[in-house]
Amino acid sequence: MSHKGFKHIRGLFLLAAMPFAVNLAYAEEQHTTQPEANYQAGSSPLAQEEMHQNINPKAPPMTAKEFARAKQIYFERCAGCHGVLRKGATGKPLTTDKTLANGTDYLKVFIKYGSPAGMPNWGTSGELSDDEVDMMARYIQQEPPTPPEYSLADIEKTRKEYIPVSKRPTKKMNNYNIQNIFSVTLRDSGEVALIDGDSKKIINIVKTGYAVHISRISASGRYLYVIGRDARINLIDLWMEKPDNVAEIKVGLEARSVETSKFKGWEDKIAVAGTYWPPQYVIMDGDTLKPKKVVSTRGMTVDNEYHPEPRVASIVASHYKPEFVINAKESGKIMMVDYSDLNNLKTTTLDAAKFLHDGGFDSTGRYFLVAANASNKIAVVDTKEDKLAALVDVGKIPHPGRGANFVHPKFGPVWATSHLGAEDVTLIGTDPVKHKAQAWKVVEVLKGQGGGSLFIKTHPKSKNLWVDTPLNPDAKVNQSVAVYDINNLSKPAQIVDIAACAKDLGEGAKRVVQPEYNQAGDEVWFSVWSAKDKKSAIVVVDDKTRSCKAVITDPKLITPTGKFNVHNTQHDIY
């Protein structure tokens, strides 16, 4: 990400798979910023893929060179919103029946100047030249090129087993407190940093896929699964003397989610990954990543319309059954996939709402709460009964990460989400037994710093609730976090200037992202995220005093973003 990528530019196009509004003044217009676009999507791995070119004879002429360049621009900047096949996702469809009817001149104006409905001003913002605007207007009148599919055989060809299971350690071979290791995404370098949470020292920098989205821990706590935007999964063995890759596989061309089996008796046996392209999920052996089953997500939406590319957003593993909970973004459908018999795969499909994104369990681990951010709702799934328990209306564009669980002094157990498009911090009751009147209802809405929040976090041993706002356009807001006293939520949040703790970073955006607790629950780690050619850092805050405790800096810490503590990730603690 270049330094230019951190400037607040009105109306830059949303590359993410969801609408977004960090500036509340423009909330209704769904404008976005480059940092948000880079965080949520970045340039798509599909931009460099060879694709079938089917030029529409009714479309204005293009040279092969123009077509190739326009294809690259489309996948780098437009596909995340309008879809790979241009059928529409969070953005409107750009199919040829519409674009040909509009004509080149109309499309040029639209691309150059944008619209109040959310289409950015590509030309007047300086992102595209007049020649490129003309080229893109002609390109979207051609039939969309189709990326290649990815079969089970294609996936197996990419698999590498660096250390076979038979040659791996039979016991832990290092002195690290594995439960307090952090897997830290180094977004723009295609790596994760494994950091010892006790000593604050880097254990290893591990090569992974590009723009790692999440890290997940196997049920035993031994294996770390890391998935990049380019759909590459790396399996890291934490028992090794120096934890490192033991296997990898590429499950498609673009992806976001990976998870492992957690039901009793199935620990570490099965892994699953969901892809954006092709729209499908892949079930694998947990210790070798050998692919066993590929299942497409193409089909009908909750509105009973066919969608050719419902992307798999998030996946969690049920604690009540040998099932994965798989969320298809554009279709708004949640699939409860039974992995106990892959030859006779049983799937229960629940209708939720569009567009499903991320979420987490309630404190009991029974109910999964997931954001449907285009509908401004939270879907609640009962993983014991395989039923949709509720659809809860919340603020504009909820973005909980995994969310945050705590006991409200008045309403009992709640789960909290922050929002991309609103300053709201919404608390939802989660106890249908002892607090039935509050269950699956919004019990309180706290006032945050502003829109642009990505993550919210607490810990069972903490009395604090931390909320970031890294994608807010105001530097004072995106470089700080809000922290609430759970026992006194009527008191305004304290604003902690996290970026100020990292005093020697020099120039850079210093956006503060993703609070993550250590194993003990007495420290909160934050990424201070700047461009890849600027210095970044990790700031450790004392949870009790809310003061800076340590700053981790290293030239190898390039664009750190997500952090995943082994213990908390393994046990779904948030």
Catalytic option among 1, 18, 62, 78: 78
- The amino acid occupying position 540 is V
Task: Taking the CA atoms of 517, 518, 520 and 523 in sequence, report the sign of the dihedral they define.
Answer: negative
| 1 in catalytic set | no
Q: Are strands 299-300 and 291-296 parallel, antiparallel or unpaired?
A: unpaired
231 φψ region: left (φ > 0), alpha (ψ -120 to 50), beta (else): left
Catalytic option among 399, 408, 419, 435: 399
139 φψ region: left (φ > 0), alpha (ψ -120 to 50), beta (else): alpha
Catalytic option among 1, 18, 62, 81: 81
- CA–CA separation, 359 and 376 (whole Å): 13
Helix or strand or coil: residue 120? coil
- CA–CA separation, 251 and 159 (whole Å): 9
Q: Are 372 and 353 in contact (CB under 8 A)?
A: yes
441 φψ region: left (φ > 0), alpha (ψ -120 to 50), beta (else): beta
Q: What is the CB-side half-sphere exposure of residue 489 using CA atoms within 13 A? A: 21
SS3 content of the chain, % helix, strand, coil (to 5): 15, 35, 50
- CA–CA separation, 297 and 514 (whole Å): 30
- CA–CA separation, 533 and 530 (whole Å): 8
Comparing CA positions, the residue from 552, 517, 515 lying closest to residue 535 is: 552
Helix or strand or coil: residue 113? helix
- CA–CA separation, 284 and 358 (whole Å): 22
| 52 in catalytic set | no
| 399 in catalytic set | yes
Distance of CA 226 to the CA centre of its chain: 13
H or E element that contains 34: helix 34-40
Q: How many residues are there in the chain?
A: 574
- How many helices (H) and strands (E) are present in the chain, helices listed first? 9, 35
Tokens linked to 311 = 């992307």
Q: How many other CB atoms are there within 10 angstroms of residue 546's CB atom?
A: 15
Catalytic option among 8, 31, 82, 213: 82
- CA–CA separation, 240 and 171 (whole Å): 9
Catalytic option among 31, 357, 419, 459: 357
- CA–CA separation, 186 and 206 (whole Å): 10
- CA–CA separation, 178 and 172 (whole Å): 9
| 548 in catalytic set | no
Q: What angle do the packed helices 130-139 and 64-77 form, to 10 degrees?
A: 90
Catalytic option among 1, 62, 119, 336: 119
Q: Which residues are catalytic?
A: 78, 81-82, 119, 357, 399
